[in-house]
Amino acid sequence: MRQIDSPQAYLVAKTMLVPEGLNAYLKDIGNPDWGTDHSVSDAENLIEAAGRMCYRSWQPYDPARPEASNPNVTNVRRGNDRYIANVLKSGHGSVLEHANATFICRNVSRVFTHELVRHRAGMAYSQESLRYVRLDDLPVWIPDSACENPAAEKKFREVVDFLENSQKELAEIFGIADIDDFSSKKMLTSMFRRLAPIGIGTTIMVTGNLRAWRHIIAMRTSVHAEEEIRLVCGQIAEICKREFPNVFQDIYKDEESGAWAFEYSKV
């Protein structure tokens, strides 16, 4: 058994504006001067633009600028933080779906990935293939709940070592080292993995829109969620709060339980 470090989430991509395109659009609708304020990220700027486009609320009504304003709007809310606060409060969260954040989750188990991929709405996944990647050693993270109990930790190691030896024995039974044909190797590798533990360390890339991340963070850091997904989604919560402080302005952490929750749970 190869003991690996605890699971880790890395933010690897996030939504970026194309300012030339947005500025060209604003010029064409007759409001080239519009610019948000207090936005910390392109993602939040884009969300505000989506909302203002819906209601033509780029500015208070001006008959000279009919495509950038409308007679129903005499005052507009200024400030990206205040604008998004109102989106959250009113539950019109579909505009949050325009902004994405992509994470690579490393040293996570198949327990974690099985749970994460249950989240369908607004999500995309790419996961390490265990049909292609042959297992000669078994990388495993030992959860804190097992480490705290020496007898449990010993049993954990014994079982993983046994399964690791089984991988090696199967490789010998089939003489996989001497097989050149890739599709045969793939078929055998896939068969061997049935005897790999669900706790085996792997990697998954996951992209989600910010509305979906709010939902996942709340569900998966709750005290009812599993130890590993709580840990990783807790890291994702910290990153989202730092990178998108206006979209995550209503998030708070219960320090005792470690759960993250939102003032507006349904947006």
Ligand X SMILES: Cc1cc2nc3c(=O)[nH]c(=O)nc-3n(C[C@H](O)[C@H](O)[C@H](O)COP(=O)(O)OP(=O)(O)OC[C@H]3O[C@@H](n4cnc5c(N)ncnc54)[C@H](O)[C@@H]3O)c2cc1C
Catalytic residues: 220
| Sign of the torsion formed by the C-alpha atoms of 37, 77, 26 and 16 | positive
Q: Report whether 73 contacts 46 (CB < 8 A).
A: no
Judged by CB, which is closer to ligand X: 119, or 186?
119
Q: Which residue from 21, 150, 224, 256 is in contact with ligand X, where contact means CB under 6 A?
A: 224
Min separation Cβ 119 and ligand X, Å? 4
Q: Is residue 149 within a helix (H) or strand (E), and if so which, with residue range?
A: none
Min separation Cβ 124 and ligand X, Å? 12
Instruction: Name the residue among 237, 1, 7, 197 with its Cα closest to residue 106.
Output: 7
Min separation Cβ 122 and ligand X, Å? 7
Establish if 225 lies at the interface with ligand X (CB under 6 A).
yes
Q: Report whether 116 contacts 229 (CB < 8 A).
A: yes
- Phi, psi (5° rounding) for residue 223? -60, -20
Establish if 119 lies at the interface with ligand X (CB under 6 A).
yes
Q: Is residue 233 within a helix (H) or strand (E), and if so which, with residue range?
A: helix 227-243
Region near ligand X per CB under 6 A, out of 119-127, 169-177, 236-244, 249-257: 119-127
Min separation Cβ 120 and ligand X, Å? 4
Q: Mask 138-157, x = binds ligand X (CB under 6 A)?
A: --------------------
Q: What are the structure tokens assigned to 75, written together?
A: 């005052």
Judged by CB, which is closer to ligand X: 76, or 219?
219
Instruction: Name the residue among 98, 8, 18, 101 with its Cα closest to residue 53.
Output: 98
Q: Kindly determine how many residues on this chain lie close enough to bind ligand X according to the rule CB under 6 A.
A: 9
d(CA 244, CA 95): 14
Establish if 118 lies at the interface with ligand X (CB under 6 A).
yes
Establish if 121 lies at the interface with ligand X (CB under 6 A).
yes
Q: Which residue from 53, 152, 170, 219 is in contact with ligand X, where contact means CB under 6 A?
A: 219
Q: Mask 158-197, x = binds ligand X (CB under 6 A)?
A: ----------------------------------------
Q: Report whether 244 contacts 43 (CB < 8 A).
A: yes
Establish if 242 lies at the interface with ligand X (CB under 6 A).
no
User: Would you call 153 helix, strand, or coil by DSSP?
Assistant: helix
Give the DSSP letter of residue 200. Answer: B
Q: Which residues bind ligand X (CB under 6 A)?
A: 118-121, 215, 219-220, 224-225
